[in-house]
Amino acid sequence: MSEALLVKELREKTGAGFMDCKKALLESGNNVEKAMTYLREKGLAAAAKKAGRAAHEGRVQSYIHGEGKIGVLVEVNCETDFVARTDEFQALVRDIAMHVAAASPRYLDKDSVPAEDLEKEKAIFRVQAEESGKKGPVVEKIVEGKIGKFYEEHCLVHQKFVKDPDLTIESLIKNAIAKLGENMAVRRFARFQVGETLPTKPTQCSV
């Protein structure tokens, strides 16, 4: 395949600029998959520099699924109203709302997990490890590993994106930061499902 076609394919897959795609292909020996990884790594590095900037604009998005059986509200923030009105940002917010409907996260991120919930999970994992015959430091190592998995399964930003399991929601947001040039973050979300048992505490999570 010609260089022009490779650049075109990479741009379609990543949304990155022409020169960025050309450089990524050069660095990866014209391997599109490696070039995508290269762009993702560079994008995440650029996004990290913007992470501390204030983000008070944004959008609240609703998503209804299953003929009204599941409903989601999510607030995603960015720095300016200009970016909040772009098609790219609005698509990001819709994707996150859709993901919440499909993946049913319980918390926003690992820092949002209440201490009592975390200790309850650790106690369960510790008993499971001990009943399997493990002892001492091995038990704690197993518990630590299972807590990491717990975060990946139940915390929104650590979950794998349902439309692309190669990305977490955190990576999805960081890619958008790299592309649009502003800090972005999910501030809070709420998910409702007809017939679900109501919790004693709100399901809405915020940072």
CATH of the domain at 21: 1.10.8.10
Task: Supply the range of the domain harboring residue 132.
Answer: 116-152
Please list the residues that pair with 58 across neighbouring strands.
77
Structure confidence by residue, pLDDT tens digits, 163-184: 998 889 988 998 888 888 888 9
SS3 for 71? strand
Here the CATH number for the domain that contains residue 77 is 3.30.479.20
pLDDT score at 71: 95
Please identify every stretch of the chain with a pLDDT value under 50, giving residue numbers as ranges.
202-207
Number of domains in the chain: 3
SS3 for 79? coil
pLDDT score at 94: 96
| Sequence-ordered alpha helix ranges (H) in the chain | 3-14, 18-27, 32-50, 81-84, 87-103, 115-131, 136-154, 169-180
Instruction: Looking at the structure, tell me whether residues 196 and 183 fall in a common domain.
Output: yes
Residue of 158, 187, 182 whose CA lies nearest to 172:
158
